[in-house]
Amino acid sequence: GIGQGLALSQSSADGFYDDGSKVPCRGGYAFPAFAAGLRGTPTILMSFLQDLIKAYHGEESSKVSQETARWMLDEEHLVDLGSIDFMGAKAGLGTFVAKAGPNRMMLHQAANDGVRGVYLVCFDGPDKGKGFVIIANGDTPAVFLNSALSVLCLKKLNIQGVDLTRVQNKEDSFDLSHIPQEQIVNLAYN
């Protein structure tokens, strides 16, 4: 269903470090929302992404204009300033875009103190509208939880062009020592 936004004065999930300590609350972030600790729920974010899809296709949208959606998702506006190597997708305004067979997918990863997340939603193609948003509190363990849940979602959604034969148990496939958290997220999610 469609959720209601959380006001900053209301309760929300706390971030936790790998050692179990709580991330000190510094208030809400005001820059790239999802990557920087978006305040809200996965349902709210999915609602926005579904509205972005409507706007992209010229359907009525209460949150985004078609022009904005096109700037965010159209191939002509996408760039690769290292994002192909970094996460296998081109960068748009506020999101990343990748191809999966006949589908075009918007995606993003979140890595902030004590919170990890990922979304992947098809915005164009035969599987338009299919996707997921997963947000978990924690650091490295949350990355592996989100990765496992992403695989389960992809199996259930059966999105054309997604090759699940490339998935392996990545938790045991690389050394995590001395790797920055954002790189751990990329290694696990790619």
Backbone torsions φ then ψ of 40, nearest 5 degrees: 155, -160
Asked whether residue 69 carries a pLDDT value surpassing 90, the answer given is yes
pLDDT for residue 97: 97
Question: Which of 68, 142, 130, 67 is closest to 104 using CA atoms?
Answer: 130
d(CA 174, CA 45): 31
Using DSSP, state whether 71 is helix, strand or coil.
helix
Highest mean pLDDT out of 18-27, 92-101, 112-121, 163-172: 92-101
Length of the chain: 190
pTM: 0.77
